[in-house]
Chains A and B, each alone.
Chain A
Amino acid sequence: MKKILSLVLIALMVAGVAYAATPGYRLSPGIGENMTTAQGGQQSDPGKTFRMVRFMPATATANSTTLTAESIVIWDLSSDDGVTITTTETSYDSAVAGIIVHACLTPETIGNTAAVDRGKRNWTWLQTHGLAQVRVQNLGSVVVGEAMATSNNEGEAGSFVASASAAGLNGNAGFFFDSAAADTDDVECFVTCE
C-alpha cells in the first residue's frame, strides 16, 4: 500500500513539474489584471470590454426611433451621470463613449434619472474596448488604420483628426480595421474607449 501511495505521489509531482515547465502562454505577466483569463475566453479570442448603459435620445423624445446596433455614441452631457449615453452630430466629439452592440429602445418617459429608469427598456450594452463593427457616415469613406471618431451623422463614425484649437473636438475612439466606402454598415474597427 505504501509503495502504491509513493508511486502516486511521485507521479503527481512529475506531472506537476511538467505542467509548470511548459513555456510560453502560461507564463504570468506579473502583478496586474490578466484580461484574457478574467474574460474567460480562449487564448485566441480577441479581448473585449462591455458596459451596461442607459440610452437617452439626443432629441429627447420618448417612444422615438430605436438606436440601431453598431452606432457610435457619446456620454450624455445632460444626464451627467457616467452611465447614460446618447448620439451626437458633432464630428470628433470629445465625449465619445464607444459602440452600441445591441439595438436600444428609447425611454418610455423622458426626464427620468438612471436610478428611476432601472429595469426599463432603454438599457443596452456599450462596447468600450476591442474588435467591433460600426456604421460609417455618408459624407466620406474611411481607410484601414485611420483613427475613428463620431461624425456629423448621428450614430455613424468617420475618420478622426485632432484639433489644436477646440477641446470639445478631440474624441479618438480607436481605429478602423477595414477600408470602407461612405454610408457602409458592418465596418470592422477597434474600440479604445476604456
Chain B
Amino acid sequence: MKKIISIFIVALLVTGSAFAATPGFRLSPGIGENKTSVQGGQQSDPGKTFRMVRYVPAGGSGDSTTLVTESIVIWDLVSDDGVTVTTTTTSPDSAVAGIIVQAALSPETLGNSAKEDRGKRNWTWLQTHGVSQVRVNATNGVVAGNSMGTSATAGEADIFVASASDATKNGNAGFFYDTSAKALDDVECFLMCE
C-alpha cells in the first residue's frame, strides 16, 4: 500500500513539474498589470473594463425615460464629479465616457449629489474598454474600422472625425468592429475610453 502511495505521489510531482514547465501561455508579460489574469477570465476572453456610474438625464427630469442598454454616454459636465454620466446630442462630444451595458433608470430626485444618490436606482455599469455593442445613429451608416464618437442623437454612436477647430468636438471613443447601416442596434465596437 505504501509503495502504491509513494508511486502515486511521485507521479503527481513529475506531472506537476512537467505541466509547470510547459512554455507558452504561462509566460509572464513582464512587470506590470496583466489584465487577463486580473480580470479572472480565460486567456482567450476579451479584456473589458467597467466602472459603476450614476446616470442623470440630460433633459433634467426625474422619473423620465430609462436609458437603454448599449447607449453611448458622456461624463456629465453639470455634476462635474467624474462619476456621473449623461447623454449628449453633440457629435462628436469631447467628454465621451463609454457605453452603458445595463439599462439605467432615471433618478427619483433631481439635483442630488452622487453621494446623496448612493444606493438609489440610477446607478449602472459603464464599459470603458474592450469589445462592446452600441446603437448606431439614424442618420449615417458606419464602416468596420471607422473611429467612433457620439452622434447628434442621444445615446447613439456615429463615426468620429477629429476637429481641427472645435475643441469640444474631439471625443474619440474607439472604433467600430462591424459595418452597419444607420439606425441599427447591437453593432459591435471596441471601446478605448480609459
Using CB atoms and an 8 Å cutoff, list the residues of chain A in contact with chain B.
23-25, 27, 29-36, 38, 42-49, 129-131, 142-147, 159-164, 170, 172, 175, 177-178, 188, 190, 192, 194
Check A49–B194 contact: CB distance below 8 A: yes
Partner of B94, one of A44, A45, A47, A175: A175
Digit string of B101-134 for contact with A (CB within 8 Å is 1, else 0)?
Answer: 1100000000001110111110111011110000
Check A33–B39 contact: CB distance below 8 A: yes
Task: Judge if B187 is at the interface, Cβ distance under 8 Å.
Answer: no
Check A43–B94 contact: CB distance below 8 A: no
Check A162–B52 contact: CB distance below 8 A: no
Partner of A35, one of B47, B49, B80, B162: B49
- Closest residue of chain B to A128 (Cβ to Cβ) is B194
Number of chain B residues close to chain A: CB under 8 A: 51
Digit string of B159-194 for contact with A (CB within 8 Å is 1, else 0)?
Answer: 000111111101110000000000000000000011
A-B contact count (CB 8 A): 134
Check A32–B48 contact: CB distance below 8 A: yes
5 closest A-B pairs (Cβ-Cβ)?
A: A131-B82, A32-B48, A46-B82, A162-B162, A194-B194
Residues of B contacting A49 in the complex (Cβ-Cβ under 8 angstroms): 194
Rounded to whole angstroms, the CA-CA distance of A48 and B50 in the bound complex is: 13
Check A162–B170 contact: CB distance below 8 A: yes
Check A147–B80 contact: CB distance below 8 A: no
From known contacts A36-B52, A129-B194, A145-B94, infer whether A161 and B77 are also in contact, taking CB-CB under 8 Å: no
